[in-house]
Chains A and B, each alone.
Chain A
Amino acid sequence: MTRINKQKPGKIVKPGEDFEPWESHNPVPLPVIWIAVALGIWGTALLLQEQDSKVVAQAEREAGEAAAHDAAEGGAALFLANCSTCHQPNGAGVRLAVPPLQDSEFAKAGPGVVAQILLRGIDGPIRVKGFTYDGHMPSFAEALDDAEVAQLASYVGARFGGGETVLAPAEVAQLRMTHSGSGSWQGGAELASLVADLPPQPPMPATAEAGLDPAISDLIFAGKGDVWSCASCHGGLGQGAENTPRLAGLSQGYITKQLHDFRQGERHNEHMSFVAKGLDDAEIDGLAAYYAGLRVDSTAQPALGGDLARGEQIALQGDWGLGVPACFSCHGPSGFGVGAEFPALAAQQPAYVASQLAAWAGGHRNNSPLGLMDRISEALPEADRRAVSDYLASLPAVPAPEPQAMARIEGGEDEL
């Protein structure tokens, strides 16, 4: 570079190599001070404002904790939250479908019997007040703790049976021990051992103990060359986790349809397409039958930070302002599912339900009949999708139906 030490008029002055930088003394421009003051105020305000966040979040977490163990306090609230969708708020049941509690032989037998029914659920015909019912009641052993079962059983015994016995949580714990791993009560016939003077109960129908085809069993537990085993993702009992769905107790028709849809690209999921393409029709039928007949307690818990009260409202009543009918108006009054098109929702993994609702809303899933779920999911805001998913996860698991129970209403039949 050239060195120009002398200025030439009219020409730009190039600096000399010997120039070393220094600072002149212009004052700080006023706007810089303003900005500094303004940012200082903003920062202080933000700090003050965000102090509240932690309190709010802690409250949310606390609510979540409580929700996980059911917020309801006291027998009446527990009854409304857990029993009333089926047995109705007045305990009258539903004619020809859900037995009444009011004055029923079992409520009259006292809270001990009620607690044992709550802990194990019922899975077989039962006769109450002169009527025979199919008798599919879920177990509440997972959903309620000892104190809650005690409160609820005492409440039911007192309100509907007219007794005065109060059950202690310790007694429930004892009962829980006695009955752990026993499965559901096999209808009124088995319950008869608990209740003296019970009117005769219908016999358990002989269920053909259909052995599991070894090929299907292999598929479920070991997989085959180009297919992972079902159980490796959905769990040994088909209980699912996070956004892997619970399969136990979904109807055979539903599972079959979904597997076919995956295979044909009607429903999109990379994992399941991979699997379904490796299955033939017979295998699909065998798997569907297996999972439809599985009876497994719920492993799902509300986990999405959803508002359970709002979720309950959507599930039970819907939000007609948004054009969303109650979930249960199609999926059955207890979320047990209806037919091949309306899967069971009770105890489904919340992340799975939420992800499916989101997929419908985003147009990634579109195998719902008539586009019913597409429209409904689009209408639900994000918080509502989480709320309803969490609520459904809080419900006890669906007892897997027997095939004949899925039959349509037979008009003119005797029992009607």
Chain B
Amino acid sequence: MSSEHHDDAGQGRSAKRLIFAAGGGLALVAIGALMLEAGWVPGWISGRAPAPDVAESAYFQPPSEAEIPDGPFGEAVKRGRDIFMNTSTNAGDYVGNGLTCANCHLDGGRQPMSAPMWAAYGRYPMYRAKNDQINTMEDRVMGCFTFSMNAQHSVAGGPPPHGSDIYRDLESYFYWLATGAPTNVLMEGSGFGKVAKTELGYSPERGEQVFAANCAVCHGPDGQGQTDANGRIVFPPLWGPNSYNWGAGMARIDTAAAFVKNNMPLSQPGKLTDQEAWDVAAYIDSHERPKDARQGEMTVEQTRQRFHDGDETYYGQQVNGALLGVGTPGPERPVGAPELPIGPTPLE
């Protein structure tokens, strides 16, 4: 009898332990499931996608389009944005090729490492060796029109004159993009960045292969870009008469290499190695393009000595037996000039 009692007690204890262990385990599972249901479980356990982080970028965040204020200033910002995005239409008289500002200043001048306008705005006025003087933002943009937009072939034959509303509107846009940005500071992500020089140097021959493998799909095997069905330029031409001229920053191989390295192919920045970036930049900038707008009556050699001395450029050099810098032939009519009317001519 007594031993049976003893047995019972011992069994009672082990039974209790068993029940508590099993019951506790089940309870934990149940509580876990209820927590999952309530969404109290961290995402890395539940596998539910966490809410996307906004603005995790290390770079300055410019305001979004939706934040453009109402009123006259907002209108100016919008005009500036329209010029920036669609330069050949909205400042058409001063654009002598097929490019727009946003071709190189990606995401409407917002993208870090593609010379974002929020970083540039606060740095002017600034001394530039290019023209050996203090440049205001207006001077700087005027340079863009002159060289990158090849204004010499435009209807006006040159950049917008000082004081033009085009500058006001563009600067309003830049100013707005730089809302909250520090002034007088070289900001992270400004310019196109730099690519370290490589041991091999650069070679257009190697670059041709890089180009065929990585660039031709968009910019075409001949580098002349592509249009949509309406003839609207989707991928800009990289050389030839419809591209930037020899005076543009992008015609310098180091600048082009940095842009390519940090921005191309679109959506895959950094895909190319430094070597490939140098090579492909060399390939692109070893093609003929419109002449340097500053050349005037000078020879190519004189221009080279005066404006391109020491630059990483093929300007004024012989490549494949031809002198580069002579320029592509100018158009019969300025780019964008009205066509000849059809049939009997009404007054335009």
> Chain B's nearest CB lies how many Å from the CB of A315?
14
Q: Which residues of B contact A93 (CB under 8 A)?
A: 89
Given the known interface contacts A89-B78, A98-B232, the answer about A408 and B107 at a Cβ–Cβ threshold of 8 Å is no
Q: Which residues of B contact A333 (CB under 8 A)?
A: 228, 232, 234
Q: Which residues of A contact B335 (CB under 8 A)?
A: 416
Given the known interface contacts A42-B34, A95-B88, A321-B55, the answer about A410 and B232 at a Cβ–Cβ threshold of 8 Å is no
Counting CB contacts under 8 A, is A214 at the interface? no
Most buried by B among A89, A134, A320, A416: A416
Asked whether, in the complex, the Cβ of A416 is within 8 Å of the Cβ of B242, the reply is: yes
Counting CB contacts under 8 A, is A191 at the interface? no
Segment among B122-130, B217-225, B275-283 that sits at the interface with chain A: B217-225
Give CA–CA (A66, B160) in the complex, Å. Answer: 45
> Chain B's nearest CB lies how many Å from the CB of A25?
17
Asked whether, in the complex, the Cβ of B98 is within 8 Å of the Cβ of A409, the reply is: yes
With CB as the reference atom, state the residue of chain A lying closest to B334. Answer: A416
* Contact surface of B with A, Cβ cutoff 8 Å: 1-4, 7, 34, 49, 52, 54-57, 65, 78-79, 82, 86, 88-90, 92, 95, 98, 106-108, 110-111, 214, 217-218, 220, 222, 224-235, 237, 240-243, 265-269, 271, 328-329, 331-333, 335-336, 338-339, 341-344, 346, 348
Question: For the complex, would chain A's binding face be called helix, strand, loop or mixed by DSSP majority?
Answer: loop
Counting CB contacts under 8 A, is A341 at the interface? yes
Given the known interface contacts A10-B3, A337-B228, A369-B217, the answer about A375 and B342 at a Cβ–Cβ threshold of 8 Å is no
Give CA–CA (A372, B86) in the complex, Å. Answer: 25
Question: For the complex, would chain B's binding face be called helix, strand, loop or mixed by DSSP majority?
Answer: loop
Given the known interface contacts A130-B341, A200-B344, the answer about A92 and B90 at a Cβ–Cβ threshold of 8 Å is yes
List 20 A-B residue pairs with CB atoms under 8 Å apart, sorted by A's residue number.
A7-B1, A89-B82, A97-B231, A131-B338, A132-B339, A134-B231, A136-B229, A201-B342, A332-B228, A333-B234, A336-B229, A337-B229, A370-B268, A370-B271, A401-B229, A407-B227, A409-B227, A409-B237, A411-B242, A416-B241
Asked whether, in the complex, the Cβ of B268 is within 8 Å of the Cβ of A375, the reply is: yes
Contact count band on A: 35 or more
Hey, what's the 0/1 contact readout for A225-241 against B, CB within 8 Å counting as 1?
00000000000000000
Q: Which residues of B contact A86 (CB under 8 A)?
A: 230, 232
Give CA–CA (A337, B228) in the complex, Å. Answer: 6
Given the known interface contacts A324-B267, A338-B235, A401-B229, the answer about A94 and B220 at a Cβ–Cβ threshold of 8 Å is no
Give CA–CA (A135, B228) in the complex, Å. Answer: 12
Give CA–CA (A369, B271) in the complex, Å. Answer: 14
Asked whether, in the complex, the Cβ of B339 is within 8 Å of the Cβ of A415, the reply is: yes
B225 partner, pick from A13, A369, A409, beta carbons under 8 A: A409
Asked whether, in the complex, the Cβ of A409 is within 8 Å of the Cβ of B268, the reply is: no
Asked whether, in the complex, the Cβ of B89 is within 8 Å of the Cβ of A88, the reply is: yes
Asked whether, in the complex, the Cβ of B328 is within 8 Å of the Cβ of A412, the reply is: yes
Give CA–CA (A282, B226) in the complex, Å. Answer: 27
> Chain A's nearest CB lies how many Å from the CB of B292?
18
> Chain B's nearest CB lies how many Å from the CB of A126?
11
Give CA–CA (A384, B90) in the complex, Å. Answer: 32
B89 partner, pick from A94, A134, A320, A410, beta carbons under 8 A: A94
Give CA–CA (A141, B49) in the complex, Å. Answer: 40
Counting CB contacts under 8 A, is A96 at the interface? yes
